[in-house]
């Protein structure tokens, strides 16, 4: 079945460091790919998404490119801030059949940014 | 625009008791999802509704879990009887359409259930 694998955390960085969180997926069909973020004490919210191969999603300085050849959707940010401390989830959306639209999530990566 | 509302935010019960969670999706959203998020894991889908019909409940433990979405708006998720392993955060999400996997799902704050 479809699945998402993302790098284990926690990840601890200093402010202004470069961030990469790896995400790979296994899927049939043509899923859409998402990064959701969960800030402390808050609900899940969409960070960015990409709906087809080679699309780049971006938001708040974060970027991720849908790479079909490597089945990856790695999250990057050039300079992290303390306010980026959160748990980040990679997810795919099933693209066909009775499960269409259902999200399959990775286990999440906790990011802590130190001043 | 109001977001997805859920209540209660926290619930503590003893095993074998029953519990119910309520969700009010974003106005106009046709599709509603319930997810279970166990500590340290990503959310896992339990059930998907489109309007008031069930689209996918293949991962819902139907011997103890039930859900309904009357009138295609609010939804309730019930657990009866609860087990220790049901301790988790129960998330409700909604999206405008279902027919496209590209649609964004908007999540509520969740209900944290502790079963003692």
Q: What is the pLDDT of residue B52?
A: 82
Which 3-state string (H, E, C) describes chain A? Answer: CCEEEECCCCEEEECCCCEEECEEEECCCCCEEEEEEECCCCCEEEEEEECCCCCEEEECCEEEECECCCCECCEEECCCCHHHCEEEEEEEECCCHHHCCCEEECCCEEEEEEC
Does residue A7 belong to the interface with chain B, where contact is any CB pair within 8 Å? no
CA–CA dist A34, B81 (Å, integer) = 35
Closest-CA distance, A15 to chain B, in angstroms, reads: 25
Reduced to 3 states (helix: H, G, I; strand: E, B; else coil), residue B71 is helix
* Residue A67 predicted with pLDDT over 90: yes
Q: What is the pLDDT of residue B107?
A: 95
Residue B62 makes CB contacts below 8 A (sequence gap 6+) with none
Q: What is the pLDDT of residue B100?
A: 66
Q: Assess contact for A64 and A48: CB atoms under 8 A.
A: yes
Q: Assess contact for A31 and A37: CB atoms under 8 A.
A: no
Q: What is the pLDDT of residue A43?
A: 87
Does residue A1 belong to the interface with chain B, where contact is any CB pair within 8 Å? no
Residue of A43 and B11 predicted with greater confidence: B11
B104 contacts on A by Cβ (under 8 Å): 34, 46, 49
Arithmetic mean of pLDDT over chain A: 93
Q: Encode pLDDT of B10-32 as tens digits.
A: 999 999 999 999 999 999 999 99
CA–CA dist A114, A19 (Å, integer) = 13
The ranges of chain B with pLDDT < 70 are 1, 98-100
């Amino acid at each position: 079945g479809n699945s998402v694998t993302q790098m284990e955390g926690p990840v601890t960085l200093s402010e202004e460091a470069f961030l990469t969180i790896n995400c790979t997926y296994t899927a049939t069909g043509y899923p859409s790919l998402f990064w959701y973020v969960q800030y402390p004490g808050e609900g899940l919210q969409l960070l960015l998404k990409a709906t087809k191969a080679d699309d780049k999603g971006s938001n708040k300085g974060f970027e991720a490119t849908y790479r079909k050849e490597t089945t990856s959707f790695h999250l990057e940010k050039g300079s992290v801030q303390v306010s980026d401390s959160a748990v980040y989830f990679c997810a795919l959306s099933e693209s066909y059949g009775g499960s269409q639209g259902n999200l399959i999530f990775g286990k999440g990566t906790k990011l802590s940014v130190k001043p | 625009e109001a977001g997805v509302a859920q209540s209660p935010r926290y619930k503590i019960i003893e095993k074998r008791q029953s519990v119910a969670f309520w969700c009010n999706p974003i106005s106009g959203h046709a599709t509603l999802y319930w997810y279970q998020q166990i500590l340290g894991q990503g959310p896992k889908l339990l059930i998907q509704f489109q309007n008031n019909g069930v689209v996918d409940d293949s991962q819902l433990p139907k011997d103890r879990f039930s859900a309904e979405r009357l009138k295609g708006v609010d939804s309730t998720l019930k657990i009866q009887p609860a087990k220790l392993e049901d301790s988790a955060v129960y998330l409700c999400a909604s999206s405008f359409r279902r027919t496209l996997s590209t649609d964004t799902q908007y999540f509520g704050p969740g209900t944290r259930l502790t079963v003692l």
